[in-house]
């Protein structure tokens, strides 16, 4: 934390103006999604990314149903669906699962998901990280965000009016001032370390190698996840090959293709030959959660806040949903209403903790050995029961997230999309949230709630409509799609005004 040298120094610092409202360290999917969210509210935003465009490790991201619902509410779903069509080798992977009703796996048991998500959107998409970043970069820069590649944060100091961020690039080192800084810079986050935020967790039990290149005779090893006596071999739809082993030392040297080749041989007995290697990486099941998501004007999102074994594709979805939860709250802080920022940590850290819990359980269930064989058979049998299957499906796919805790159990749920009949015609709820503002749905038939909300019309979209199966007569829906307040009375008054003030600030005078 920055220490003010003296009263004169503090006065000078307080008077300095900021170059940007928010500086985001990290131009991956999470940082770019946050930039998109901030620009919906006119927040000046700079994204700095150490790597050149497209230089990240090539990988395919599995985008789950809840994240896709959110993307629909930002008018990004069509872009995501188009990008998936360009992702190679998915047809073979889907044919392998065609004789099952499963959407996903738990610890390599492909049994999850038998209809627990019933939206009109796809249940799941698989698309390259490069394509995801390209989509979000177009949206972010198209709405006014500045994205600088080849630049990285190397220092920061907070003061009363903002954060002085030291940035290094090919031209040298400079200092940029921002009102807030968000670390979206991965599990080894520089921002987290500079901010002094602890990252407690568990040490690794596994070591995994992953590589992508041309492999001779690769059909000797089938596509998918295979469990062997000495570990796991995975051949992905996009051509990546990966291994996971237990209780082996983790080398401190950079990973090599020879290490991956030897790991494949140890596990499967096969010797693969790689040519035209595009990348090789090494990772573990080290599982950590930031002690806090915020210290003063510095916040964390995505892998900078939580790391875990990549089971079920949960990491990308967790991070993207961090960004959508944070974006509108940080925008409010930039506009003089910082109170909502406190809810970011209290809402998102428990969600990450649950993900870390289930990925630890999956690693334990994946361990080789006869005793775990029996456990896997038992878990597979239990997952045949709908209640158990739905419980784990909701956990892995994030459809169980509920920001509740108050007296009304409806508050905090994710409000499902539905068709609304308005004076202007039929519209989907998702379409009404695309501005990133809170949405007040008045389903009373009187428009009384719309009139009550008029003093907040510069910040809240209020719509009178009719809909079947609504949770209440009046719904105040947050920009991230979760329910902020529900009213059952046909003529809401003071309670609605209190809710609008809590979530959107004071009424316009």
b vs e for 309-319, b when ≥16 Cβ sit within 10 Å of the residue's Cβ? bbbbbbbbbbb
Q: Provide the H-helix boundaries in 186-268.
A: 190-195, 257-268
Identify the CA nearest to 481 among candidates 448, 443, 433, 435: 433
Identify the CA nearest to 20 among candidates 175, 218, 152: 175
> Could you name the CATH architecture of 206-284?
2-Layer Sandwich (3.30)
Torsion sign across C-alpha atoms 186, 192, 197, 198 = positive
Domain residue ranges of the chain, discontinuous segments joined by +: 7-200+288-396, 206-284, 419-504
Q: What's the length of the chain?
A: 509
Comparing 206-284 with 419-504, is the CATH topology the same? no
CATH code for the structural domain at 419-504? 3.40.30.120
How does pLDDT run across 164-217, given as a tens digit for each residue?
Answer: 999 999 999 999 999 999 999 999 999 999 999 999 999 999 999 999 998 887
Q: Cβ neighbours of residue 57 under 8 Å, at least 6 residues apart?
A: 129, 279, 281
Q: Cβ neighbours of residue 266 under 8 Å, at least 6 residues apart?
A: 230, 231, 245
Strand-by-strand arrangement of the 273-284 sheet: 224-228, 231-235, 241-246, 206-216, 273-284
What residue ranges in 205-311 does DSSP mark as E strands?
206-216, 224-228, 231-235, 241-246, 273-284, 287-289, 294-295, 298-300, 306-307
What residue ranges in 4-121 does DSSP mark as E strands?
20-25, 45-49, 60-64, 104-106, 109-112
- Predicted local distance difference test score (pLDDT) of residue 1: 31
Q: Cβ neighbours of residue 77 under 8 Å, at least 6 residues apart?
A: 68, 71, 121
- Predicted local distance difference test score (pLDDT) of residue 120: 63
- Predicted local distance difference test score (pLDDT) of residue 458: 95
Specify the pTM: 0.93
b vs e for 343-379, b when ≥16 Cβ sit within 10 Å of the residue's Cβ? ebbebbbebbeebbebbbbbbebbbbeeebeeebeeb
Exposed/middle/buried for 264, CB within 10 Å: 0-12, 13-18, 19+? buried
User: Would you list the DSSP string of 25-53?
Assistant: E--SHHHHHHHHHHHTTT--EEEEESSPT
Separation of CA 429 from chain center? 22
- Predicted local distance difference test score (pLDDT) of residue 58: 83
User: Which superfamily, per CATH, for 7-200+288-396?
Assistant: FAD/NAD(P)-binding domain (3.50.50.60)
Averages of pLDDT over each 10 residues, the chain, 509 residues: 32 65 98 98 98 84 93 96 76 50 80 63 85 96 98 96 97 97 98 98 96 83 89 89 95 94 95 90 97 98 97 94 98 96 97 97 96 95 94 93 90 96 96 97 94 96 93 96 92 90 93
Residue 201 near residue 288 (C-beta atoms within 8 A) = yes
Identify the CA nearest to 161 among candidates 273, 285, 21: 21
> Within 13 A of 355's CA, how many CA atoms are on the CB side?
33
Cα–Cα distance for residue pair 376/205, rounded to 1 Å:
19
- Predicted local distance difference test score (pLDDT) of residue 11: 33
b vs e for 12-47, b when ≥16 Cβ sit within 10 Å of the residue's Cβ? ebeeeebbbbbbbbbbbbbbbbbbbbbbbbebbbbb
How does pLDDT run across 229-257, given as a tens digit for each residue?
Answer: 999 999 987 788 999 999 999 999 999 99
128 backbone dihedrals φ, ψ, rounded to 5°: -70, 150
Q: Is 419 left (phi over 0), alpha (psi -120 to 50) or beta?
A: beta
């Amino acid at each position: 934390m920055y220490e003010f040298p003296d009263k004169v120094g503090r006065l000078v610092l307080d008077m300095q103006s900021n170059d940007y409202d928010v500086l985001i360290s990290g131009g991956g999917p999470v940082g770019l999604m946050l930039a998109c969210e901030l620009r919906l509210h006119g927040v000046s935003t700079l994204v700095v990314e150490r790597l050149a465009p497209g230089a990240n490790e090539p990988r395919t991201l599995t985008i789950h149903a809840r994240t896709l619902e959110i993307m629909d509410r930002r008018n990004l779903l069509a872009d995501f669906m188009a990008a998936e069509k360009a992702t190679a080798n998915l047809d073979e992977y889907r044919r392998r699962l065609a004789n099952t009703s499963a959407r996903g796996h738990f610890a390599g048991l492909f049994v999850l998901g038998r209809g627990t998500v019933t939206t009109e959107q796809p249940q799941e998409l698989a698309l390259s990280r490069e394509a995801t970043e390209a989509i979000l970069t177009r949206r972010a820069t198209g709405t006014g965000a500045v994205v600088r590649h080849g630049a990285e944060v190397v220092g920061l100091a907070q003061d009363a009016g903002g954060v002085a961020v030291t940035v290094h690039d090919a031209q040298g080192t400079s200092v940029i001032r921002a009102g807030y800084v968000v670390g979206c810079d991965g599990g080894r986050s520089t921002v987290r370390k500079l901010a002094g935020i602890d990252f407690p967790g568990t040490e690794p039990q596994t070591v995994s190698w992953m590589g992508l290149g041309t492999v001779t005779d690769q059909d000797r090893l089938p596509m998918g996840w295979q469990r062997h006596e000495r570990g796991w071999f995975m051949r992905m739809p996009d051509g990546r090959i990966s291994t996971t082993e237990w209780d082996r030392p983790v080398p401190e040297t950079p990973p090599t293709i020879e290490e991956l080749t030897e790991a494949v041989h140890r596990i499967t007995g096969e010797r693969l030959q790689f040519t035209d290697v595009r990348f090789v990486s090494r990772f573990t099941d080290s599982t950590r959660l930031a002690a806090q998501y915020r210290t003063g004007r510095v916040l964390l999102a995505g892998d900078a806040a939580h790391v875990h074994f990549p089971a079920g594709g949960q990491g990308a979805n967790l991070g993207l949903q961090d960004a959508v939860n944070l974006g509108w709250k940080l925008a409010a802080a930039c506009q003089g209403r910082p109170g909502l920022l406190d809810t970011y940590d209290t809402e998102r850290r428990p969600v990450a903790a649950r993900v870390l819990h289930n990925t630890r359980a999956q690693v334990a269930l994946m361990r080789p050995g006869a005793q775990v064989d029996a456990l896997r058979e038992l878990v597979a049998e239990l997952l045949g029961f709908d209640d158990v299957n739905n419980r784990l499906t909701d956990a892995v796919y994030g459809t169980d997230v509920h920001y509740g805790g108050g007296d009304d159990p409806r508050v905090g749920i994710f409000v499902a999309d539905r068709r609304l009949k308005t004076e202007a015609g039929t519209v989907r709820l998702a379409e009404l949230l695309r501005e990133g503002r809170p949405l007040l749905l008045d389903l009373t038939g009187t428009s009384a709630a719309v009139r009550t909300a008029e003093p907040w019309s510069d910040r809240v979209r209020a719509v009178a409509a009719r809909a079947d199966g609504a949770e209440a007569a009046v719904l105040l829906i947050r920009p991230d799609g979760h329910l902020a307040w529900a009213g059952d009375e046909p003529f809401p008054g003071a309670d609605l005004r209190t809710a609008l003030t809590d979530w959107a600030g004071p009424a316009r005078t």
